[in-house]
Homo-oligomer: A and B are copies of this chain.
Amino acid sequence: MRGRVKNILFIMCDQLRWDYLSCYGHPTLATPHIDGLAARGVRFTRAYVQSPICGPSRMSFYTGRYMQSHGSNWNGIPLKVGELTMGDYLRPLGVATVLVGKTHMAADREGMSRLGIDPTSIIGVRVSECGFDPYERDDGLHARGPDGGYDGHQPRYNQYLNAKGYPGDNPWHDFANAAQGEGNALASGWAMRNARKPARVEEEDSETPYMTRRAMEFIDESGQKPWCLHLSYIKPHWPYIAPAPYNDMYSAAEVIAPVRSESERVDPHPVFREFMTHRVSHAFARDEVRHEVVPVYMGLIKQIDDQMGALFRFLEQRGLFDNTLVVFTSDHGDYLGDHWLGEKEFFHEPSVKIPLIIYDPDADATRGSVCDELVEAIDLAPTFLDALGADPADQSHRLEGRSLMPLLRGRAAPAWRPYTISEYDYSIQPAAADLGVAPRDARLFMIADKRWKLIHAVGFRPMLFDLVNDPRELRDLGTDPACEPERARLSAALAQWGLRLSQRQTRSEQQIVAMRGKAERRGILIGVWDENDIPAELWSGYLGGAK
């Protein structure tokens, strides 16, 4: 039944840890505006991404499908043409599905060429952008090196900065992501020792407020037309650098201690061990680095929270909280030195768990509540369909997630999923080469329930954590004989998942049922000896030379 939801505001941060918001318990980082959304909505405490890295995680959000299903296994690996995305599902409902910010989509240009799709056509642009219409496309990483630029797109943001008086051909780096160094030198945000220096832009000209304003502009331009706006911030993702006053709003004293133990470095799982040798892991193992970087990471989150304040006031003024589903989430976390790791890309909670807050204008029964069910990034696409009055079951041959609406609206608790799954492909990491693992075998799977988390590494022993008795995940029980039953149970569940139906995307469950007996009514008579074996109607159909 269609409720009041007309629009969807799908806000995503990048690399925002689940526990760096005060509503999720951060002791020194106050995020009152995001907390305020949680007070009006439902806050999920067990929300997991389907891959703890930008591109694959986002492709799962946008397609509603596991990484093994959509095949975009790492940043820069194109989502193959033909995969359906949010836009494909929502646009037929009359909902403009629009992007402001980042998707980390790589277009399947080879596939488009093979199928004769012009990349500049409307269809081509959508295929190239996860199904979104790009109101403002900006992946937020306009890096350049000896081999050229990382991102082929020239962002409108650079033009904006130029117009505001920040010169050069890449003010994204030279101003928004760099500080003033000694003399005339730049202190680049790429060097973490510069993290606490102020970026060379006015706060209002930095990326987060800019994108917030762009979202507001889109909303105002939309008038009464329904929309799904994906407002997708690059921050608090690195480069870790912030404009004043966010650059020095927090001190090292406010940084929470890393979750790590010397015991983790004793005979670790081989893949985990390799990840601990990455440069970024070594860096975050140093207090010096954490004390410089984490305060700025917190400042970037604080800036987002302040922008959420501005955005929510804007929505309030226009009455949009009456008819807009608002989602606040992240694409993965950031180890920040926990477990002797930097970045994300492994399956401890700081990496794979995300904040997820959903405000639903129709969900009065659950306002301010907390949901502890296992939910997944792939649940958003079916949730959006459901919120807009479409039946996500009609798409269950494509969408592998589940609508969160029963949880949001406090309906009689359905049998919810018993496990959550996440995946990571480390074939592009040094770890694969160092371990001698072929690209196609450099795959990790996580399966977790509310108590146990198993990490399956193809070709290696598993890892196992007891999330109840060891919530900080410091003790790998992957070889503990006493835990064999849990490992066997989770391995069997993962095996069952692996054999799931995921590619029959051209026929729905309902269409399958409708196909039964259909061929016989079109003359395909199998196993018939004579006229007595079937109804006369079937028999006479073709004999009379019917059309």
Residues on A lying within 8 angstroms of B by beta carbon are: 68-84, 88, 108, 110-111, 114-117, 121, 123, 127, 141, 143-150, 168-170, 173-174, 186, 188, 190-193, 238, 278-284, 286, 289, 342-343, 396-397, 425, 427-430, 433, 438-441, 443, 445, 456, 458, 491-492, 494-507, 509, 512-513, 515-516, 518-531, 533, 537-538, 541-543, 545-547
Contacts and interface: CB of A to CB of B under 8 A. Distances in A.
Contact of A82 (B111, B193, B545): B111
A276 to B, nearest CB: 12
Contact of A526 (B238, B286, B526): B238
A504 B141 contact: no
A542 B279 contact: no
Contact of A439 (B70, B190, B433, B513): B513
Contacts of A441: 501
A128 B504 CA distance: 17
13 contacts: A72-B504, A88-B114, A115-B117, A145-B520, A145-B542, A146-B541, A149-B547, A191-B529, A192-B527, A278-B527, A343-B527, A430-B516, A439-B513
Given A82-B81, A506-B80, A527 B148 contact: no
**Copies of this chain, whole number:** 2
A418 to B, nearest CB: 16
Contacts of A513: 439
Given A282-B527, A529-B283, A108 B146 contact: no
B498 A499 contact: yes
Contacts of A529: 191-193, 283, 286, 289
A397 B440 contact: yes
Contacts of A186: 543
Contact of A146 (B83, B509, B537, B545): B537
Contacts of A425: 501, 504
A148 B547 contact: yes
A173 B542 contact: yes
Contacts of A188: 542-543
A410 B13 CA distance: 57
A174 B545 contact: yes
B443 A518 contact: no
A504 B67 CA distance: 9
Given A537-B146, A546-B145, A499 B68 contact: yes
B111 A506 contact: yes
Tell which of A278, A497, A522 has the most Cβ of chain B within 10 Å: A522
Contacts of A173: 542
A143 B524 contact: yes
B110 A116 contact: no
B499 A77 contact: no
A496 to B, nearest CB: 8
B504 A190 contact: no
Contacts of A284: 527
A77 B504 contact: yes
B169 A545 contact: yes
